[in-house]
Amino acid sequence: GIEVLVSLAAEREADLAVLATAGLRHLTLDPDLKRPVVEKGALFPVIRNVMREGPTEDMQCQAAGMIANLSENLENQISLVEASTIPALVKLARVENDEVEQDCARALANVASNEENHTTVYRQGGLHTLVELTNSSEDVCQRYASMGLRFLAANPEVRVYIVKENLVAPFLALAQSPLTDYRRTAATALASFTLSEDIKGPLVRQGGLRQILASCMDEDLQVKRDCTFALANLADSLDLHGDMIREDSITTLAKVGAHSDARIQRDAARAYASLSSSEHVKGALVSTEQSLPTLFKLVRSLDLTTQRYASLTLANISSSPYKVQIVEGGAVKPLMFLARFPDLDVRKYAALALGGLALGNHGENKVRIVEEGSLRPLLDMIRVPEVEMQRSACLAVNSIALGPQDMTKFGVMHEGGLLPLLALVDGTDSESSCMAIYALGTLTEHKDVKSKIVEIGAIASVVERGDGGDIEA
């Protein structure tokens, strides 16, 4: 029977062709018949009738319904594209008929769900058509259209075309919809756009950053996750840091980073870490309301990756001129927590942060760092047999001890720091040894500490290191 209907659909008599197409449409409602209808050659006459001049509205309705039904079969999705069905759907979608528009949106969404079709669908006008269908008055049609857009935007090649051809606006409109499904579609697409480095700038110029920031504050968890991910991706680009400051991204980041969701925290911490690599951003990271409290919360996250990004951020901003504000903002206790953490990277970043905050005579930083108990975990780190950690901790101890404050030098001795430093002097790593000698030299500025250094035999070790030909020592 299928062959007969296919033959009749090819008839030039319009009414007969419409009836045959209607019959094929009803047959394609059966999942078992969707593939056989294609294999029997039904697509060619139906598409030809659609592409002719002046097809009747009934023919358009039956053809769109048949194609949409066929598109629900995975194998057919490839066949439909190979049979040049996309141009026919593009033409049908312009018909002012709600049923035809809905079937076109359904067909395009199904075909676009197959990754092999993405580029062809885009090049044959499918994306522009889906954009137009999002303006349909019918909710179901809009849902199918937004679904198709989400599929196409996920393709690395297609998403570049979308941004470069200034087609971001429809996605921004979806992001502002009262319907959650549309906002989710937009958020997924915006996140996809930020995965391609060469279109991040154009995306920002088309309003993408502003909408991403707004969507980060969406009540829906999926939207919030995707847009925080997108924000972190944009922050990876140094060239965009100026744009992010102008759009007050830090305020949004401080708010979204306080969320309890692990994925959101991780991406917020990643954004913090990337932004903290720019000198002109560090001030905003420190001064923006709630930014430091959010960062201190992130360093205590249960997610290790989040902790690493957050502790790296603290290490970066601690080398800035805003050391006093950071300490007064409550940084020392979170850093002490990190300095005792099992992860080596986290502990190293904590040591670098404490060293950065102590370096130079900034306010009462050195005194506060000592009084709040930071020396003990730093000295414990020097005892850990890992070179990078030993260097970081030794650098921090020396930064704390440098300067006119006697209590910092006495504090190192009081906490039992002389023997670990002496062990570094005698160790095999020459750089660590030189750093330890420098620290011991700083500590000798305190009379009592100097006597203790002599008492433990440090002079002989230092001389021996110098006799070994190490010029720096």
| Contacts of residue 143, Cβ cutoff 8 Å, sequence gap at least 6 | 181
* Domain contains 179: no
Task: Report the pLDDT averaged over residues 22-40.
Answer: 94
* Domain contains 333: no
Residue 5 token pair: 């209907």
Query: What is the number of structural domains in the chain?
Result: 2
Displacement of CA 154 from its chain's centroid (Å): 15
Residues 116 and 107: their CA atoms lie apart, in Å, by 15
Mean pLDDT of the chain: 93
The Cα-based distances of 130 to 69, 170, 441 in angstroms read 18, 10, 72
Half-sphere exposure (Cβ direction) of 123: Cα atoms closer than 13 Å: 7
| Contacts of residue 442, Cβ cutoff 8 Å, sequence gap at least 6 | 398, 401, 402, 409
Identify which of 174, 46, 54, 40 has the alpha carbon closest to the alpha carbon of residue 103: 46
pLDDT top residue among 60 and 12: 60
Looking at residue 473, its pLDDT comes to 45
Its domain, for residue 405, covers: 366-472
Q: Which pLDDT tens digit goes with each residue over 65-80?
A: 999 999 999 999 999 9
* Domain contains 409: yes
Please, what is the Cα angle at 73 between 138 and 186, to 5 degrees?
45
Residue where a domain terminates, one of 92, 118, 134: 134
Looking at residue 469, its pLDDT comes to 53
Residue 220 token pair: 């829906």
Alpha helices per DSSP H over 134-179: 139-153, 156-164, 169-175
The Cα-based distances of 128 to 52, 123, 141, 165, 382 in angstroms read 22, 10, 15, 11, 62
Residue where a domain terminates, one of 90, 118, 134: 134
Q: Is the pLDDT of residue 467 over 90?
A: no
* Domain contains 446: yes
Can you say whether residue 363 is alpha, beta or left, with left for phi > 0 and alpha for psi between -120 and 50 degrees?
left
* Cα dihedral 284, 285, 289, 294 in deg (nearest 10): 170
Residue where a domain terminates, one of 94, 116, 134: 134
Looking at residue 361, its pLDDT comes to 86
pLDDT band at 471 (very low <50, low <70, confident <90, very high): very low
* Domain contains 80: yes
* Domain contains 390: yes
Q: Is the pLDDT of residue 472 over 70?
A: no
Residues 284 and 276: their CA atoms lie apart, in Å, by 9
Q: Is the pLDDT of residue 470 over 90?
A: no
* Cα dihedral 457, 458, 462, 464 in deg (nearest 10): 20
Residues 43/79, Cβ–Cβ less than 8 Å: yes
Percent of the residues in the chain that have a pLDDT greater than 70, as a whole number = 98
Q: Is the pLDDT of residue 301 over 90?
A: yes
* Domain contains 76: yes
* Domain contains 212: no
Q: Which pLDDT tens digit goes with each residue over 402-459?
A: 999 999 999 999 999 999 999 999 999 999 999 999 999 999 999 999 999 999 998 8
Residues 354 and 332: their CA atoms lie apart, in Å, by 8
Least confident of 163-167, 290-294, 351-355: 163-167
Task: Report the pLDDT averaged over residues 251-268.
Answer: 97
Percent of the residues in the chain that have a pLDDT greater than 90, as a whole number = 84
Q: Which pLDDT tens digit goes with each residue over 170-196?
A: 899 989 999 898 899 899 999 999 999
Looking at residue 13, its pLDDT comes to 85
Q: Residue 386: give its domain's CATH number.
A: 1.25.10.10
Q: Which pLDDT tens digit goes with each residue over 362-388?
A: 999 999 999 999 999 999 999 999 999
The Cα-based distances of 32 to 37, 45, 57, 69, 263 in angstroms read 10, 21, 28, 12, 42
Residues 111/151, Cβ–Cβ less than 8 Å: no
Task: Report the pLDDT averaged over residues 220-233.
Answer: 98
